[in-house]
Amino acid sequence: MKGMCMGRVVAVCFRKGHHFSKPPALSIRLLAGLGVEGDAHMGEKVMHPYLARKNPDAPNLRQVHLIHRELFDEVRAKGFDVNPGDLGENVTTEGIDLLGLSTGTRLHLGDGAVIEITGLRNPCHQIEDFQKGLLAEVFEKNHATKTLVRKAGIMSIVLTGGDVRPGDAIRVEPPEGPHRPLLLV
């Protein structure tokens, strides 16, 4: 198939209630159109407290948050201690350039779950509250384009539900048409 590449799930996390970090779990269940079963961000409408105050009827484009394990390696080399779930993600991946994916890319997780990438997570002050100095490490200035690169993960919606576990394969299905860079959601 066109443009397929593989990665894997390193960890899965969820948490009831709005807290910054999420504890790792043995598995998570993705529910079509809703998100991660039992997670604070599960729902058809936006669940992020700040975004919900601005527009409670907006669709939830942040049902599943993904971060690449390689980011943890990068910040660990600079003296930070960051592990799966610490930055609030639901799925920690490895082997996929999440930030380079196109909007609309579909990720096939495990035996049947399918999510669609909606955009970038905007790193917030809570990252700095978690570990002083870490917020600056999840931003990077691209000097060639004079743009700010946000490295704190990507957001997605659930198209097909299913269970996801550490060790599951991730298959990347690019969308048709030209590459559409990820924007903040």
Tens of pLDDT, residues 76-85: 999 999 999 9
With beta carbons less than 8 A apart as the criterion, state whether 120 and 183 touch.
Answer: yes
Q: How many CB atoms lie within 10 A of CB 93?
A: 25
Helix (H, G, I), strand (E, B) or coil at 40: coil
Q: What is the pLDDT of residues 150-161, one digit of tens each?
A: 999 999 999 999
Kindly state the percentage of the chain with pLDDT values over 70: 97
Instruction: Summarize the confidence of residues 68-96 as an average pLDDT.
Output: 97
Q: Where are the alpha helices (DSSP H) in 17-116?
A: 49-54, 69-76
Instruction: Summarize the confidence of residues 143-147 as an average pLDDT.
Output: 85
Q: What is the domain partition of the chain in residue ranges? A: 5-173
**Look-up: residue for tokens 């994916």?**
101
Which residue, 86, 95, 85, is CA-closest to 12? 85
Q: What is the pTM of this model?
A: 0.94
Give 155's Cβ-side CA count (13 Å radius). Answer: 24
Calpha distance 62→65 (Å, rounded): 7
Q: What is the pLDDT of residues 5-49, one digit of tens each?
A: 689 999 999 999 889 999 999 999 999 999 999 999 999 999 988
DSSP code of 99? G
Instruction: Summarize the confidence of residues 129-142 as an average pLDDT.
Output: 92
Is 139's pLDDT higher than 80? yes
Instruction: Summarize the confidence of residues 159-181 as an average pLDDT.
Output: 97
163 alpha carbon, distance to own chain's centre: 17
Tokens of 154: 């990507």
Calpha distance 129→133 (Å, rounded): 9
DSSP code of 107? E
Superfamily of domain 5-173: PK beta-barrel domain-like (2.40.33.20)
